[in-house]
Amino acid sequence: MMHDYEKLGSFYLGRLFDAEQGKTVDDLLLYDARDLTTHAVCVGMTGSGKTGLCVSLLEEAAIDGIPSIVIDPKGDMGNLLLSFPDLAPADFAPWIEPQDADRKGLTMTQLAEQTALSWKEGLAAWHQPTERIARLKSAAEFSIYTPGSEGGKPLSILRSFNAPSAETVADTTLFRDYVLAAVSGLLALAGITADPIRSREHILLSTILDYHWRLGQDLDIPALIHEVQKPPFSKVGVFDLDSFYPANERMSLAMALNNLIASPGFSVWAQGESLDIQRLLYTPEGRPRVAVLSIAHLADSERMFFVTILLNAVMAWMRKQSGTSSLRAILYMDEIFGFFRRQRILPQSNRCSLC
């Protein structure tokens, strides 16, 4: 039997709650996918169910064939991969904590059986047949990427200073922000505090990226290091290059960036797939993907660097898309508060986003 919520573009979130009666009623709570074609923010008290609500939205989108990129600063969103169509005790057994079984006076097997039964009854009470879990798993591929680590699928960012699209370059404000964000992220990763207006490091790197990207030329970090030593221009503003930033001092900046990529811990950033938004959203066969980008293992500076590079890539991808009134993809970031005040994290487009 097909329920009303199975209509394409209609996300089922549960049933309505009657506050006066203090209980749920039979009316379904449905969310129109078109309401997510701009931006959305989910706020609430700790433990109030924000992440649970958003997981439901992501799963509903996946069932409809809508891919998602999920930025996961705390490592919680990997639970999206824990869906068991059979709801068999053996599926839950690997995730049962021995302490929980001891506390309840049960064996591990008994608690797994109890958990499986609880899920079956709970989902059935909310009109969720086990067949719908199978639909979810078949509708999209769920993957966990771990930039800077081999714990999941690694992502390489050493090739991620590719030139943005011509549309991005033509948009003066967007292109300026694109350059500033890339440089700020890189300098933060290198442990260099730099002001975009006053810092010679920031101005030099921004000028180098601006020069090459306007020509449609890609860069990687090693190439950028060489450009710091021998920039492709002789003036910065009205000053000669060597007056603005003497060669021996530029060498110090190049050395700092070189030490960054030469460190043993940084080598893993060169491994894995290149950061390609289309490939994150869809498999090579064209199947929608829910790509969980776990960054819980990264230091704060590394997180900021990766998120900066990622969102630059998202903006470049969006600029290449044609307009649409339906939801094309979701960009979701969990626990956004730690990033919200330090950098703008919302892409300037109405084509995809949820955070």
Read off the pLDDT of residues 163-188 as tens digits, 9 standing for 90 and up.
888 888 998 888 888 888 888 878 88
Q: Is the pLDDT of residue 230 over 90?
A: yes
Q: Is the pLDDT of residue 38 over 90?
A: no
- The per-residue pLDDT for range 238-270, each reduced to its tens digit, is 999 999 999 999 999 999 999 988 887 777 777
**Under DSSP, is residue 75 helix (H, G, I), strand (E, B) or coil?**
coil
The residues, any chain, with a CB within 8 Å of residue 101's CB and separated by 6 or more, are: 107, 108, 110, 111
Name residue 291's beta-bridge partners.
Answer: 69, 143
CA dihedral over 191, 193, 195, 198, signed as positive or negative: negative
pLDDT > 90: what percent of the chain? 45
- C-alpha distances out from residue 232 to 209, 216, 250, 258, 318, Å: 11, 15, 14, 19, 30
Q: Which fold has domain 4-154+272-340?
A: Rossmann fold (3.40.50)
Domain ranges, ordered by start, for the chain: 4-154+272-340, 166-269
State the chain's mean pLDDT as an integer: 86
Q: What is the band of 208 on the pLDDT scale with cuts at 50, 70, 90?
A: very high
Q: What is the band of 330 on the pLDDT scale with cuts at 50, 70, 90?
A: very high
Of 109, 44, 16, give the one whose Cα is nearest residue 337. Answer: 44
- The per-residue pLDDT for range 75-117, each reduced to its tens digit, is 889 989 988 999 999 999 999 999 999 999 999 999 999 999 9
Q: Specify whether the CB–CB gap between 147 and 205 falls below 8 A.
A: no
